[in-house]
């Protein structure tokens, strides 16, 4: 993702370079180059051009207001979402802590304070763990 004007200019220059390289490849295929290598070079150039154009368009759309963004209120809802996901995944605070390599008391503190003391990296790790965790099978009583 392009994050500022400097990166935008660098990406624009990279795009121009890749487009020039592709044009050169197409116009002057060397006869000694095996066909599979030539095709791979062309496909790589096309892929890079597509990626760079996509990044530039995203930045331009953001700057112009064309791209719609999610509501930032989601940030305020995130702590409760993490707690709800833990419950939905049928995990106790202790089990979540074990999955994360933390002590149960740390998860208790995070949830008690709505994750106010947790770093963004920690919150991301909790979210990743919860989203990828497979629920335990229910035990049926005999």
For the stretch 121-141, pLDDT in tens is 999 999 999 999 987 666 655
117 and 91 part of one domain: yes
69 domain-assigned = no
Q: What is the CATH number of the domain that holds 106?
A: 1.10.260
pLDDT exceeds cutoff 70 at 24:
yes
Q: What angle do CA 135, 141, 142 make, to 5 degrees?
A: 140
State the pLDDT at residue 141.
Answer: 56
Total number of domains constituting the chain:
2
pLDDT digits (tens, 9 = 90+) for 61-112: 999 999 989 899 989 999 999 999 999 999 999 999 999 999 999 999 999 9
Q: Are both 44 and 95 inside the same structural domain?
A: no
**Cα distances (angstroms) measured from residue 42 to each of 34, 67, 107, 127:** 13, 31, 51, 39
Give 31's pLDDT tier (boundaries 50, 70, 90): confident
The pLDDT, as a whole number, for residue 140 is 59
Pick the last residue of a domain from 19, 35, 64: 64
Regarding whether 121 and 90 lie in a shared domain, the answer is: yes
Q: What pLDDT score does 32 carry?
A: 81
Rounded CA separation 11/53 (Å):
9
For residue 117, what is the DSSP state?
Answer: T
């Amino acid at each position: 993702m392009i994050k500022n004007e400097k990166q935008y200019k660098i990406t624009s220059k990279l795009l121009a370079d890749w487009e020039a390289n592709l044009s050169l490849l197409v116009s002057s295929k060397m006869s000694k180059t095996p066909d599979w290598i030539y095709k791979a070079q062309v496909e790589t150039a096309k892929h890079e051009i597509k990626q760079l154009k996509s990044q530039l368009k995203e930045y331009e759309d953001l700057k112009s207001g064309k791209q719609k963004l999610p509501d930032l209120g989601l940030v305020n809802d995130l702590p409760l979402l993490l707690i709800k996901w833990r419950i939905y995944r049928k995990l106790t605070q202790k089990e979540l802590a074990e999955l994360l390599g933390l002590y149960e008391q740390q998860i208790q503190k995070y949830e008690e304070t709505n994750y106010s003391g947790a770093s963004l990296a920690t919150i991301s790790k909790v979210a990743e763990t919860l989203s990828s965790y497979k629920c335990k099978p229910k035990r049926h009583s005999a």
